[in-house]
Structure 1
Amino acid sequence: MRIDLNSDLGEGFGRWELGDDDALLSVVTSANVACGFHAGDPTVLRRTCAEAARRGVAIGAHTGYRDLAGFGRRFVDVPRAELTNDVLYQLGAIRQFAELAGSRVAYIKPHGALYNAIVHHEEQARAVVDAVTAFDPGLPVLGLPGSAWLRLAEEAGLPVVHEVFADRAYTPEGTLVPRRDPGAVLHDPREVAERCVRMATKGEIVAIDGSVITVKAASICVHGDTPGAVKIARTVRDALEEAGVALAPFTATTV
């Protein structure tokens, strides 16, 4: 068995720091690096890419809405052509820093509200697909199973990769419980680790109502901005390895 661990990194801005990127880069196998629209400035992005490359961690473009104040967690009603250009702009920025670090952009994973919107919002999902196909028609895309985003990406010929979330609660329909709802984010490292082992070995997720969802995913997301994020990530990795699950970037088999 083999699985990828991804985390959102490079989300500081100027003197404002978020998370412990260096510690997480010693745990995860893929880094979703902010591209400057929801978080991250050029210095933060370049430093994060350089450290990821040094550690052999795959670099992914974590593209979002132009929403620094809201950290990209507010829906923005962007016209399709404008959203395509916004995503292209972000992809170009992170590609430059990845290449300077001797690496490359290995995949794309939309961030926050954009990620959630394109589960069902067909027009915005098409806009992001348009951007990726224009940037690199062979670039793997990471997202939620069953989303419009992955369906349209697959129809466009893009390599599609399913992910699950280590510390987020799921609805019985397989979508994420909104962060504003009670129990949406899990904080107990052991509970999160046990969920991840079940995801990786049995392809099952227990929803918030106790029902069991079947899902086959190549990557598990461990958030970098939640309290105790590093401890959770390390506990998850240790538990997976103890269960006989190998950790490696999913891009090693998609490109």
Structure 2
Amino acid sequence: MNCDVGEGVGNEAQLFPLISSCNIACGGHAGDASSMQRVVRLAKKFNVKVGAHPSYPDIKNFGRAAMDIPSEVLIQSIQEQIAALVCILGKENIRLHHIKAHGALYNTIAKNAELAELFLIAVAEYKKNTLIYVPYGSEIGRKAKEHDFSIAYEAFADRNYNTDLSLVSRSHPQALIESPEAVLKHIVRIVKHQKVRTLTDNTVKILAETFCIHSDTPSAFEIVSYLSKELPNQSIRIKK
């Protein structure tokens, strides 16, 4: 299980004993040096693997709106965001485990091959020792494999899917899955059957090695607490 953190919610101390990796906001949509240091130290305390969570440079919209900006500006922003976190990790003697794009950037590079290539250029420095968390069936996943990046397929435990494996828009009343029992059912179906049930009640193939719970989902702590108790009873294994 992984969580997007350092985004101002402040519930990391509750979540970290129950998850295996985290994605730390590093200034593009949220976060600053102080929040990054605080969350990194918590991750170290609870042995949680640390990932960078870069986004479009758009604090105003929390990185949830696509931006039409020059390629070199986007590359520089992504690199600066990751470097800021890596600097803190170095001081704490922790390695960067993975990189996961945030919000609109995550969704855009999933569908746009040109922007996926751009993202990989931005993170090429970390290619040798760092995973990229990517959605199954995505352009970023395909391009990353073409360029010999190491990837881990990610699915969202607390979000509903459309038939094309895009996430249901947050503006939709059923975008979130907030019931812990429903989240468990959602995860088990994906792991055991490699299928996800979409909002239109279809089933679509999907693979996942790590599942994300958003720390700002209202029931995030209840979900991860429930999963930590119930997943061991499901005879499934999720990679960390």
Q: Could you tell me the TM-score, scaled by structure 1's length?
A: 0.89
Higher relative contact order (CA 8 A, sep 6+): 1
**Counterpart of 1:7 in structure 2: which amino acid?**
C
Q: d(CA) in 2 for partners of 1:7 and 1:154?
A: 24
Structure 1 residue ranges without an equivalent (≥5) = 13-17, 250-255
Aligned match of 2:122 in 114, 131, 136? Answer: 131
The answer to whether structure 1 residue 244 and structure 2 residue 240 are counterparts is no
CA contact (8 A) 1:59 1:107 kept: yes
**Counterpart of 2:81 in structure 1: which amino acid?**
Q
- The alpha-carbon distance between structure 1 residues 111 and 103, as it changes in their structure 2 partners (threshold 3 A), is same
Aligned match of 1:60 in 51, 61, 70? Answer: 51
- 1:212-231 deviation digits (Å, cap 9, x = unpaired): 12222110111110111110
The answer to whether structure 1 residue 99 and structure 2 residue 95 are counterparts is no
**Counterpart of 1:160 in structure 2: which amino acid?**
I
Q: What is the aligned length?
A: 240
Aligned match of 1:159 in 150, 155, 171? Answer: 150
Q: d(CA) in 2 for partners of 1:153 and 1:79?
A: 22
Structure 2 residue ranges without an equivalent (≥5) = none
The answer to which of 108-117 and 169-178 deviates more is 169-178
Q: d(CA) in 2 for partners of 1:54 and 1:19?
A: 16
Corresponding residue number in structure 1 for 2:136: 145
Q: d(CA) in 2 for partners of 1:173 and 1:75?
A: 19
Q: Could you tell me the TM-score, scaled by structure 2's length?
A: 0.95
Deviation beyond 6 Å, 4+ runs, structure 1: none
Task: Tell me by how many angstroms 1:67 deviates.
Answer: 1.0
Give percent identity, aligned residues only.
31
- The alpha-carbon distance between structure 1 residues 223 and 147, as it changes in their structure 2 partners (threshold 3 A), is same
CA contact (8 A) 2:127 2:150 kept: no
Aligned match of 2:2 in 1, 6, 14? Answer: 6
Corresponding residue number in structure 2 for 1:70: 61
Corresponding residue number in structure 2 for 1:253: none
Corresponding residue number in structure 2 for 1:113: 104
Partner SS state of residue 72, structure 2: helix
Task: Tell me by how many angstroms 1:246 deviates.
Answer: 4.3
- 1:69-108 deviation digits (Å, cap 9, x = unpaired): 2111111112222211111111111111122222111110
CA contact (8 A) 1:196 1:240 kept: no
